[in-house]
Structure formats: C-alpha cells, structure tokens
Homo-oligomer: A and B are copies of this chain.
Amino acid sequence: MKVLNVVGQRVPMHDAAAKITGQAQYTDDLVLPGMLFGKLVRSTVAHGRIKSIDVSKAKALPGVKGVITGMDIPDRVYGIVPKAKDEHALAREKVRYIGDEVAAVVAIDQETAEEAARLITVEYEELPAVFDPLDAIKEGAPLVHENTPGNVSAQIHKEFGDLEAGFAASDYVFEDSYYTHAQNHAPMEPHAALASYDALNGDLTLWSGTQIPYFLKRNLSTTLVIPEQNIRVIKPKVGGGFGQKIDMFAKDFCACWFAKELGRPVKFLYDREEVFQSTRQRHPMYLTLKTGVSKEGKIIAQKITAHADGGAYNSTAPLMITLSCFFVMIPYKIENLVYEGYHVYTNKPVGGAMRGHGIPQPRFAIERQIDQIAKRIGVDASEMRLLNAIEAGEPHPAGFIINTCGFADSVREASKAIGWAEKRGKLPFGRGVGIACASFPSGVANMSHLASGCVVQLSSEGRVSVLSGAADIGQGAETVIAQIVAERVGVPMEDVHITAADTGLCPLDAGTFGSGVTVRAGNAALNAANDIRAQLFPVVAEALGCEVDEIEAANRLFWVRDDPDRSVGMRDILRQYQYIDRSLPIVGRGAWVPPADSATTLLTNNGNLSPNYSFMTQAAEVEVDLETGRVNVIKVLTAHDCGQPINPMLVEGQLEGSILGGIGYALYEDSTCIDGQQHNPSFLDYGFPTMMELPEMEGIHIDTDDPIGPFGAKEAGEGTQLAPAPAIVNAIADAIGVDFDRLPVTPDMILAALKKQREEAAGEAR
C-alpha cells in the first residue's frame, strides 16, 4: 500500500470535529431571516383518482402563507433519466401509492404548517391497485401509469455469446429462482430543503441534502421553468445518502416554488415516516437463473431473468436495470450470457438507487446459486469461484477494460483467512462459513454530464482553497480530495480547505453515485493541483537554482531531489510570487472525464463502462441459534482490491458500514409493505443492525496499482455491500444445510426450515 506524505495516510475526516460537536450545519440547521416552514399532504390510498381537494380550511388558518396542489404548478415531470421522467412534485389527477404527494402548505412555523396540512381534505375515487411486479405484468392488471401498458417502464435484453450453444456444451444446467426484498437506506439525516429567491435577479438558491447538486439544478430548472443559470444548489452537510438522496423530491420543488411565490425563504423537512415511505428504497427483485456448467464447475452459459418492483415511479429505473444487467459480467468470466430485466410499476413506495444499485439482487442470486451448484456437482465452492475468476488484461465480452484485478487473490485470501479448508462443511451443526464475491465500477463512464472540475487557489499565506463540485454525503469525499491536493501541492492536510457541492461556486461535478467520486473528482483535483505546481514550480526552481522536474514538495517545503539541503519554504516562495514580483493570484484548474475509449452510447451498447473496477471476496462465519432461529454473524472478512486507498481509515469505515448494510440486507432490514401500506417506517421498527449485531470484521488489502485512478485508487464502499448477504446465507447453508432463496432470512424462516428438516429426517427415518 502506498503511504505518501498525505495520500495513503489515516487522516481523520476534515469535518469530523464539526460533526461531533454539533457545529456542522445540515440543511435543517440553516436559519434564514423570515423563514417559513412547509408540510406536504400525502395520499392515504394506494391508487386513486383525485376527485377534489378542499384547501379552504387550511388557507383560513392564521399563520398559513400558501397552499398549492398539483393543478397549481406547471405540468412538468422530473426524474433521473431524461426519457423516463414520470413524477410530478404534486400529483395532478391520480395518486399512485400511499405517501404520494397531493398538496403542500407553508406557514410561519412548523406546527402551523402541520395543522394546516391536516385540515386539507382530499376526496379520492379509489382504483384497483397492484402490489407485486409478477401480478402487475399480467394481462388485465391495473395500470399504475396509463401510458405504460403491462406496467413495464424499463427493460433490457442483452445477449453475450451464444446462450443455447453454451447450454448445449454444458455438463449440467440448473435453474433456480430467488427473491430479494425492499431495503431502506435509513440515513440518519432526514431529507430537507431550504430555498430563497431574489426577485431582482430571478435567482433561486436551494440548500438541499442532495447527492447530485448539478442534476438537481437541472430538474429544478425543468419543473420550475427557470433557466438553469439562475439556480444555485448548495449541499450542506449530508447525514448519509446511500443513493436515497440522488433524486429530486417534492420538498425541493415546493421549497423553491413557495420561496419564489412568497418572496421569503421556505424550509421543508421530512419526518422519519416520510423518509421511509415517500423517498426511495432498494428494488425488490424476482430473479431466475439458468446456469450451465462443466463438471469441473466452469460456468459455460447463464440466463438471468429479473423482475424489479419499481413501485409507483421510475426514479432511476432504466439505469438500475441496465447496471443490474451489465455488472453481472464481473467478477466471473461468462462467455455466453443473456440478461432479461424488467422494471415494473406497482402501487408501492418507489425504488431507487441504493448502495450497489441493482447489483446486490443478482449478486445474491448468483453467489447463492454457485454454492448450490458446487454442492450439487461435488466441487468446492471456493475453487469453483477461482475457476471462473476474471483476470486483468483479458478481452471482456461486454468490452470492459480491466487494467488491474486482484479478484483471484481475493478469493484465495478470504478463503484462507476464514479457515475455509478447516471449517467449510466441518463445523458442528448450527455453525458454518460461506464466501461470496463481487466487483464494482468506479463510476459509470457512459452517462451524460460525467465530468468533474476542480479549482484550487493558493493564498499568499499558503492557505489552499479547493472548489470541487463533488458531494460529500458523509463518506469523506471532501477529505479524500483535500488529501490529493495536499499531497500534490506539498502542504500538510490542515492547510487545505475545501468548499464543495455548491453549483454557484464550484465547477461541474457529475455527483455522488456509482462510487465514482474518488476517481473522477479525485483526478480533477489532482489535475488542478498539478496546475498549481505549473505556476509555482518555476519560481521554486529559480529560488533553488534547479530544474522544475528536480523539485520535491512536502509539508510546506520544496527541495532539490538529489540535494535535499537545497530547500526553500512555501511562505518564502509565496512572498516572491504573489502580489510582489508576480501579481497574479495562484489558481489551478483541472477537470477529468473518463477516458475517451470508454465513451459508449448511454447504457445500451457494450464498452468500458467504468474507468476501473474494484474486486472483493467476503467470507462470513455464522452461528445459528437452533432454539430461537436467530443468526449470529461471528465474523465477516473482506479481501479487497480497491486499488491504492487514498485514506485507509475511510476505506475501513466504508467497509464496516457496508458489511453492516449487508448483514441488515441478509437478516433484518425489510421495508414491509402490506396492501401498499408501509408497516415499519421508523428506526424502532425497521430494525437495522446495531452495535449488538456487529461481527468481528477484518479487511485484507489486495494490492493493485491502477493506472487510471488518482494515485492508483479505485472504488471502495459500494462493492463491499454486495457480497456479505450471500456470504452469510451461504454460511447459514453450511451451518444448517438449508438453502434459503429469499431475503431477509428471518428467525421464523429458520425455525420453519429446521422444523421441516426434522420432519423430513423423521419421515426418512420412518
């Protein structure tokens, strides 16, 4: 692992103290003069036509400043993918799920706004609703959107190689089905928005807890009918996103709308129930895998059929189903593969991007099926994974360019570390080990709006000010970018101050999704820092009497590489540079777009979909309580090729968080929805893992040095949430011999399976 002066160091997040002491400002912490408070009125029916909305009592309530319904605003839809936009800020004619927005009020305080919202009465003509994607695609099913027959709003059918020839050439063909459920991102910080409007310039400013300020700006422009250049989106601190804060929401639109209409700042804050019910969740998915293998376990052909439950709106639908498709092509070599995926509307909360975005679902199915096939054909599940492992430099069926790949090593290291040889199939009943594998892109290369820019200023006293569009949502993006700049400019971390994710101040950035920030925004920062060197180093060379390429820089000192005693300090150089001999401010500019060879048509054609790819194998050891059915995850080990970590501590944080997310996905977190009504929209009932469920965790660094990532970095943080769930369920299978095919695996399911097992054993014994 590279350990340089700042890069590669375990640097604390630059805003850690501010967050811990409560000084950090999240959106709801912001207070503006004359600020008003908003509240949304939400549908109480899963599917219905709006007959009438009576806002008269709300309007009459003292302190109420504004009330709007869907008919009061432009008939403009928003969404992540241009062709799949289908959502109005407030419903116009129909509501499509319980929680859909129908009206908004603004008042002088939060209590009055909430009282006014309660005074609004909506009369619905209830329509038949549909709650399961497999029901929704049936002939005659209720249509969630009238313009989408069959309720399939996005689909992909992708073929690589020759599937039928592959099956024919296989020694065995197995078909298995799986189901994954709805998981909620459950960020600590609820969604909020605060807008203000300047009537003179027509300037709108929105502070929003968003992952993609520049994209939100674009959606606001479309729906509010305000030119993009008049909109400034600022991301305050964000208390977790995990994909849930990628979308624009009604709060964003309504805060802006009222701010413009009323000429006063307006804040909307979702309560916890709204976060669970009316933002986004991980798509539930039905998956069927038909897989042909050789008798040694080589995967010859695979067909995957997936039906994703999208809920009432598209959000990222076409993107999600495409990612789900393309990224089943790593980390295994599968020459002949067909993926058929469908995104299906239902009258339920809306699916969206969530850590892994469309990939944990097939990953669960694939990794489960590998274990099942290995058992069926009598090969070792770890060996079977190695046999199919992708390698660097090989031609890839989908056109991925994989420059570095520590995958096979990760399988070996994780298996060794968990004690695979000694434990697998050899532990007492109730205890078992499992592994699962994954790979993840470092951002997706073929979407529009993909660039990142960076501007770095070096002040006359040596303070480095970075402007980056990148959106830190708690993962530490700002710290990583600051480290890259500090390393390259040659100053300690504390000299670097970063202002990020403010579309009015910072250059363009694609946003925080798909784990692209470190590579994309990091490279932009690296380039901007290089531009600082280009301006500064000639002065240093003059001072030191050497050539520019002989200069080393660190910790505010410059020296001649081969003669370190010839050195000069940053302050001395700046005195020579700025405003005295040379009067220009030192400003570096940099940008980065994925390499040109990766530019393919928007998520349809093959090509190199990402600048680089991370790889990981995760191994779990579990103990199943045979009395209660409760699964105790004892340890989860991760052998991880994330390239060169810019900040090993932040990589560990991501690793630990994603493992807990994987444990939640495997065993606990289920956004239960019955007849369209969410039943556990609270931290108390939802039940994500806490410190009590924390396993022993260890990361094993697989060393690769990627040529594309800044200082060799690759993705870290999403990929590692893919494999824990199948690894744990594989370990459960090892522990009790039961192959679960749906998530989450609950104590009830385990007790039922054990009971069935005992009954079958008794039957066999009879």
Q: Which residues of A contact B (CB under 8 A)?
A: 12, 14-18, 21-25, 29, 31-34, 196, 198-203, 227-230, 232, 263-265, 451, 453-455, 457, 459-463, 465, 467, 494-495, 497, 499, 503-505, 507-508, 578-579, 583-585, 587, 589-593
A25 and B32 in contact (CB under 8 A), knowing A505-B465, A584-B591, A593-B579? yes
Give the oligomeric copy count: 2
Complex: A461 Cα to B32 Cα, angstroms: 28
Of B229, B467, B587, which contacts A495 at CB under 8 A?
A: B229
Question: Would you call A21 and B201 a contact (CB within 8 A)?
Answer: no
Tell me, rounded to whole Å, the shortest Cβ–Cβ distance linking A446 to chain B. 14
Which residues of B sit under 8 angstroms from A14, Cβ to Cβ?
A: 200-201
Question: Would you call A508 and B459 a contact (CB within 8 A)?
Answer: yes
Which residues of B sit under 8 angstroms from A264, Cβ to Cβ?
A: 21, 23
A507 and B198 in contact (CB under 8 A), knowing A23-B33, A34-B22? no
Question: Would you call B579 and A590 a contact (CB within 8 A)?
Answer: no
Of B32, B199, B229, B508, which contacts A585 at CB under 8 A?
A: B508
Complex: A135 Cα to B236 Cα, angstroms: 58
Q: Which A-B residue pairs are the 6 nearest by beta carbons?
A: A17-B200, A451-B579, A31-B31, A453-B585, A507-B585, A229-B463
Complex: A16 Cα to B591 Cα, angstroms: 35
A457 and B455 in contact (CB under 8 A), knowing A201-B14, A578-B508? yes
Complex: A457 Cα to B459 Cα, angstroms: 17
Of B16, B32, B592, B593, which contacts A200 at CB under 8 A?
A: B16
| CB-nearest residue of chain B to A587 | B589
Question: Would you call B579 and A196 a contact (CB within 8 A)?
Answer: no
| CB-nearest residue of chain B to A454 | B585
Which residues of B sit under 8 angstroms from A465, Cβ to Cβ?
A: 504-505
Question: Would you call A587 and B585 a contact (CB within 8 A)?
Answer: no
Question: Would you call B494 and A201 a contact (CB within 8 A)?
Answer: yes
Question: Would you call B29 and A23 a contact (CB within 8 A)?
Answer: no
With A22-B34, A23-B34, A454-B585 given, name 11 new contacts (CB 8 A). Answer: A16-B200, A17-B200, A18-B198, A23-B263, A201-B494, A232-B497, A451-B583, A453-B579, A459-B507, A579-B591, A585-B591
Which residues of B sit under 8 angstroms from A583, Cβ to Cβ?
A: 451, 591-593
Tell me, rounded to whole Å, the shortest Cβ–Cβ distance linking A237 to chain B. 10
Tell me, rounded to whole Å, the shortest Cβ–Cβ distance linking A476 to chain B. 13
Pick from A16, A32, A454 the residue with the most CB of B within 10 Å.
Answer: A32
Tell me, rounded to whole Å, the shortest Cβ–Cβ distance linking A37 to chain B. 15
| CB-nearest residue of chain B to A583 | B591
Complex: A504 Cα to B498 Cα, angstroms: 9
A229 and B22 in contact (CB under 8 A), knowing A202-B494, A579-B451? no
Tell me, rounded to whole Å, the shortest Cβ–Cβ distance linking A580 to chain B. 9
Which residues of B sit under 8 angstroms from A196, Cβ to Cβ?
A: 23
Complex: A755 Cα to B504 Cα, angstroms: 66
| CB-nearest residue of chain B to A497 | B504
Question: Would you call A459 and B32 a contact (CB within 8 A)?
Answer: no
Complex: A229 Cα to B33 Cα, angstroms: 31
Pick from A25, A263, A455, A587 the residue with the most CB of B within 10 Å.
Answer: A587
Complex: A579 Cα to B452 Cα, angstroms: 8
Complex: A459 Cα to B497 Cα, angstroms: 22
Complex: A32 Cα to B26 Cα, angstroms: 11
| CB-nearest residue of chain B to A494 | B201
A508 and B579 in contact (CB under 8 A), knowing A29-B33, A201-B494? yes
| CB-nearest residue of chain B to A197 | B23
Which residues of B sit under 8 angstroms from A505, Cβ to Cβ?
A: 457, 465, 467, 499, 505
Which residues of B sit under 8 angstroms from A504, Cβ to Cβ?
A: 463, 465, 497, 499
Complex: A465 Cα to B203 Cα, angstroms: 13
Question: Would you call B228 and A461 a contact (CB within 8 A)?
Answer: yes
Which residues of B sit under 8 angstroms from A199, Cβ to Cβ?
A: 17, 21
Complex: A463 Cα to B590 Cα, angstroms: 18
Complex: A16 Cα to B579 Cα, angstroms: 33
Complex: A497 Cα to B590 Cα, angstroms: 21
Contact sample, A vs B, 28 pairs, CB 8 Å cutoff: A17-B198, A17-B199, A17-B200, A18-B198, A21-B199, A21-B263, A22-B34, A29-B32, A29-B33, A31-B31, A203-B497, A228-B461, A229-B463, A230-B494, A451-B578, A451-B579, A454-B585, A455-B585, A457-B507, A459-B508, A463-B504, A465-B504, A499-B504, A499-B505, A579-B593, A583-B592, A585-B589, A585-B591
Which residues of B sit under 8 angstroms from A230, Cβ to Cβ?
A: 494
Which residues of B sit under 8 angstroms from A454, Cβ to Cβ?
A: 585
Which residues of B sit under 8 angstroms from A587, Cβ to Cβ?
A: 455, 507, 587, 589
Complex: A32 Cα to B589 Cα, angstroms: 32
Complex: A37 Cα to B157 Cα, angstroms: 63
Which residues of B sit under 8 angstroms from A462, Cβ to Cβ?
A: 229
A198 and B23 in contact (CB under 8 A), knowing A505-B505, A508-B459? yes
Which residues of B sit under 8 angstroms from A453, Cβ to Cβ?
A: 579, 584-585
Tell me, rounded to whole Å, the shortest Cβ–Cβ distance linking A494 to chain B. 5
Which residues of B sit under 8 angstroms from A33, Cβ to Cβ?
A: 22-25, 29
Tell me, rounded to whole Å, the shortest Cβ–Cβ distance linking A243 to chain B. 24
Which residues of B sit under 8 angstroms from A578, Cβ to Cβ?
A: 451, 508
Which residues of B sit under 8 angstroms from A29, Cβ to Cβ?
A: 32-33
Tell me, rounded to whole Å, the shortest Cβ–Cβ distance linking A216 to chain B. 14
Question: Would you call B579 and A584 a contact (CB within 8 A)?
Answer: no
| CB-nearest residue of chain B to A591 | B583
Question: Would you call B32 and A23 a contact (CB within 8 A)?
Answer: yes
| CB-nearest residue of chain B to A28 | B33
Tell me, rounded to whole Å, the shortest Cβ–Cβ distance linking A20 to chain B. 9
| CB-nearest residue of chain B to A259 | B23
Question: Would you call B589 and A265 a contact (CB within 8 A)?
Answer: no
Which residues of B sit under 8 angstroms from A12, Cβ to Cβ?
A: 200
Tell me, rounded to whole Å, the shortest Cβ–Cβ distance linking A255 to chain B. 14
Tell me, rounded to whole Å, the shortest Cβ–Cβ distance linking A552 to chain B. 22
Which residues of B sit under 8 angstroms from A16, Cβ to Cβ?
A: 200
Question: Would you call A17 and B455 a contact (CB within 8 A)?
Answer: no
Complex: A587 Cα to B590 Cα, angstroms: 10
Which residues of B sit under 8 angstroms from A499, Cβ to Cβ?
A: 504-505
Tell me, rounded to whole Å, the shortest Cβ–Cβ distance linking A24 to chain B. 8
Which residues of B sit under 8 angstroms from A494, Cβ to Cβ?
A: 201-203, 230
| CB-nearest residue of chain B to A449 | B579
Tell me, rounded to whole Å, the shortest Cβ–Cβ distance linking A488 to chain B. 17
Tell me, rounded to whole Å, the shortest Cβ–Cβ distance linking A450 to chain B. 8
| CB-nearest residue of chain B to A531 | B584
| CB-nearest residue of chain B to A202 | B494
Pick from A34, A454, A457, A590 the residue with the most CB of B within 10 Å.
Answer: A457
A459 and B201 in contact (CB under 8 A), knowing A22-B34, A33-B22, A34-B22? no
Complex: A400 Cα to B391 Cα, angstroms: 76
Complex: A14 Cα to B200 Cα, angstroms: 7
Which residues of B sit under 8 angstroms from A593, Cβ to Cβ?
A: 579, 583
